[in-house]
Structure 1
Amino acid sequence: MVEPQNRLSIKALKVWRISAVIKVVIEWSITSVVVLLLNIFNGPDWISITLIILGVIFTFLHIFLFPTLRWKRWRYEVRAEEIELQEGFFIRSRTLIPMVRVQHVDTVQGPILRKYKLASIIVHTAATAHEIPALEETEAEELRFSISKLARVAEDDV
């Protein structure tokens, strides 16, 4: 089974890590409040210790391990007849999107992606939307144009 050849931008790692830091700060804020309330109301110490240990483990996983694994596994390829996406590190998912099913293609760029000159592509079909995240801006625009052109050609052939 041949894997798709194209990878996401290496800058995706920075973007995903920044997003993870934001999530971890929120998680630590909630954990701090819970630990503080446990101390105020004389709750068991083992709960506070467990929450802190789990917080440290989840911080490492979300900021360092998961983005790296996600980037290594994420691949895509656009062919004349289909778009193939591969993602996932625990459960691998491979998706084929026939060009005849593509209705429209969007590029999306939030503030963190914009800072690193990245954009995501969303391919819409009648039933679902599929995302190719964190591509270089120019690559995303070229790919969006290419997919929309191939989808029109596939539609004309039907």
Structure 2
Amino acid sequence: MTVDDDGETTPGLERVEPGYRQVLRIHNLLIWLPLVVGSVVLDRLVLAETPFGGLLMVLVPLLALMTVVIAPQRVWRRLGYALEPALLRVVRGWMFHTDTLVPLTRVQHLDIARGPLDKMFGTASLVVHTAGTQNSTVTLPGLSPARAAELAGVIRGHIQADPDAA
């Protein structure tokens, strides 16, 4: 189940693995590291003799720290999913809330993806490819590898049992 900002439980949604927060933290860190180094170098070489000297050396690392520490927890808290009899539901976001419903009859094929960070923290992503062009790929990150395989098996079984799928 997923808990919203007010502490209320959203019925029927499951949370992804807690290790996914660490994957997000390291991913954010890898993005911010060159920006922090670049801002420090720019500040020391270009802005040192101006009234703005030292500003980038403080603001960019502070913003990076907030993004690496706070954002992953917020993303994780707002990511939930449910496998219902005829569809897969993936819910994410707060300010830009997205509630994606994937009818299982539209599923073309499934992938289970695991990058190095996923392997390190025991997570995987279920990638659902559907018929159509717009939003034809739905990714559900942060699952345990066993849960991703279980969901893929259930969806695959539904596709094979559907007489209209061919």
The alignment's TM-score, normalised by the length of structure 1, stands at 0.86
Determine if the alignment matches structure 1 residue 15 to structure 2 residue 23.
Answer: yes
Is this contact kept in 1: 2:44–2:54, CA < 8 A?
no
Change (3 A) 1:50 1:81: same
After superposition, the Cα gap between the structure-2 partners of 1:4 and 1:61, relative to the gap in structure 1 and judged at 3 Å, is farther
Name 1:141's counterpart in structure 2. Answer: 149
Change (3 A) 1:83 1:151: same
Residue 137 of structure 1, CA deviation: 1.1
Q: Give the equivalent residue in structure 2 for 1:131.
A: 139
Q: Distance in 1 between matches of 2:86 and 2:143?
A: 22
Q: How many residues align?
A: 153
Find the residue that maps to 1:36 and give its secondary structure.
Answer: helix
Following superposition, which runs of at least 4 residues in structure 1 exceed 4 angstroms of deviation?
none
Which ranges in structure 1 are unaligned for 5 or more consecutive residues? none
From 63, 70, 78, the equivalent of 2:68 is: 63
Partner of 1:114: 119
State the Cα distance separating 1:39 from its structure 2 match: 4.5
Distance 1:5 1:81 in 2: 15
State TM-score, norm by structure 2. 0.83
Given that residues 4 and 85 in structure 1 are in contact (C-alpha distance below 8 angstroms), is that contact kept between their aligned partners in structure 2? no
Letter in 1 for 2:93: G
Contact kept? 2:21, 2:76, Cα under 8 Å: yes
Report the identity percentage: 24
> C-alpha offsets along residues 60-79 of structure 1, whole Å, 9 cap, x if unaligned?
33111110111111000111
2: CA distance, partners of 1:71 / 1:150? 28
Give the direction of change, closer, same or farther, for the CA distance of 1:30–1:9 in structure 2 (3 Å limit).
same
Change (3 A) 1:55 1:139: same
Pick the structure with more helix per residue.
1
Unaligned 5+ residue runs, structure 2?
1-9
Post-superposition offset of 1:87: 0.3
3-state SS of paired residue (2:124): strand
1:88 aligns to 2:93 (yes or no)? yes
CA distance in 2, matches of 1:12, 1:66: 12
Tell whether the 8 Å contact from 2:36 to 2:61 is kept in structure 1 after alignment.
Answer: no
What is the alpha-carbon distance in structure 2 between the residues aligned to residue 94 and residue 129 of structure 1? 14
What CA deviation, in whole Å up to 9, does each residue of 1:18-51 have, x standing for no partner? Answer: 11222221211221221133157x4x231x4332
Larger mean Cα displacement after TM superposition, 127-136 or 17-26: 17-26
- Asked if 1:53 is matched to 2:58, the reply is yes
Distance in structure 1 (CA, Å) of the matches to 2:159 and 2:45: 57
3-state secondary structure, aligned to 1:80: coil
Alpha-carbon contact 1:4-1:75 (below 8 Å) kept = no
